[in-house]
Amino acid sequence: MYRPLLEPLGLTHPQYLVMLALWGESPLSVKEIGELLQLDSPTLSPLLKRLEAAGLIARTRSTRDERLVLVELTGAGRDLRRQAERIPPAVVALLGMDVAELEALHRSLARLIAAARAGGVAEV
């Protein structure tokens, strides 16, 4: 469902999720992005490399802690947000559900994931 909406932006769905996180707050550490998106480093690293190669993000080492890699939007990454703002309403229209229904579904799924993790399930 997302593919035809994201192709004009040059993004895959996982890349779009990374960009959403950074549009919410930038810079973020790689670890913070992984926690927000529930992605491990082997999955996240190639996504970040492709976004960096596309000129949408920049990765730098933290000056306070060299172990931390910070990810920040570039000007092109910030500019892409304007085009991406049409994605959520288009997805809602495609799903045929109203926003309240989707929010309720999101809350239920978040509780399910939290319960599975608390119960010792590694991946949901």
Q: What is the mean pLDDT of residues 6-31?
A: 95
Same domain, yes or no, for 78 and 109? Answer: no
Q: Are residues 74 and 110 in the same domain?
A: no
Task: Using pLDDT thresholds of 50, 70 and 90, give the confidence band for residue 116.
Answer: confident
- State the residue range of the domain holding 107: 94-124
More confident residue, 48 or 65: 48
- One domain, residues 22 and 81: yes
Q: Output 67 or 18, whichever has higher pLDDT.
A: 18
Rg (CA), the chain: 16
Q: pTM of the full predicted structure?
A: 0.84
Residue range 66-103, pLDDT digits in tens? 889 999 999 999 999 999 999 999 988 999 888 889 88
Max intra-chain CA distance, the chain: 47
* Mean local confidence (pLDDT), 113-123: 75
Same domain, 81 and 111: no
Q: Are residues 79 and 110 in the same domain?
A: no
Q: Find where tokens 């559900």 sit.
A: 97
60 with 8, same domain: the answer is yes
